[in-house]
Amino acid sequence: MVTPGAAVADAPLTVPELEAQIRSASDKERLVGLLAAPWAAGIGVLVVAALINHDPTAHLASGLVNSKHVSVTFYYGVLAALLALSVLMLAFAWFRKRVLLGVAMAMYGLTLFNLHWWGFAVPYLLCAGWLLVRAYRLHQDLRAATGDAPAPRGAARVPRVADERPTTSKRYTPPASRAGR
């Protein structure tokens, strides 16, 4: 049995409706960003604190320089980047900027991923992928609704004017030399 609401949901959206959806994030997307941003700041502080606490000493017992030691200033730079990305996530979610929120979440996730904290990185990368794919699909729906969709790959391009013919290539290709010489 088909409900009356299902027929309305399956109907294609009009161009103004699609433009409105592209312009701003939905309530669900905004909520994801508003919840993920404070968690991102807390995760960033905890990750950097753990990295600093588990960093090996600068010199080995023999007095040689330890190649596995990382400067604490590097960790503070990473912390600044993670906190800046979490603030950007909060701002983009607040102002309903879907694509920018997705990019900020992806950058945050990749930063954690490169620090080998995959458990915290993967959810941010998944959310970023969801936001960016959703923005791409809305844009493709808009292109299909306005008729601006490009021709499929391999299809010949139809000239806009009937009298317009494709021009020949001006590239010169010298004749091939004979193999017998």
| pLDDT tens readout for residues 111-163 | 999 999 999 999 999 999 999 999 999 999 989 888 876 655 655 555 556 56
Phi and psi at 12, nearest 5°, equal: -65, 145
DSSP 3-state of 26: coil
Residue 117 lies in a domain: yes
Phi and psi at 60, nearest 5°, equal: -75, 175
Residue 2 lies in a domain: no
Question: What is the DSSP secondary structure assignment for residue 147, as one 8-state letter?
Answer: T
Residue 100 lies in a domain: yes
Most confident of 16-25, 30-39, 63-72, 172-181: 30-39
The distance of Cα 110 from the centroid of its chain, to the nearest Å, equals: 10
- Give me the domain span that covers residue 138: 14-55+68-146
Residue 163 lies in a domain: no
Q: What is the dihedral of CA 48, 53, 59, 62, to 10 degrees?
A: -150
| Structural domains in the chain (count) | 1
Residue 181 lies in a domain: no
**Position 83 pLDDT exceeds 70:** yes
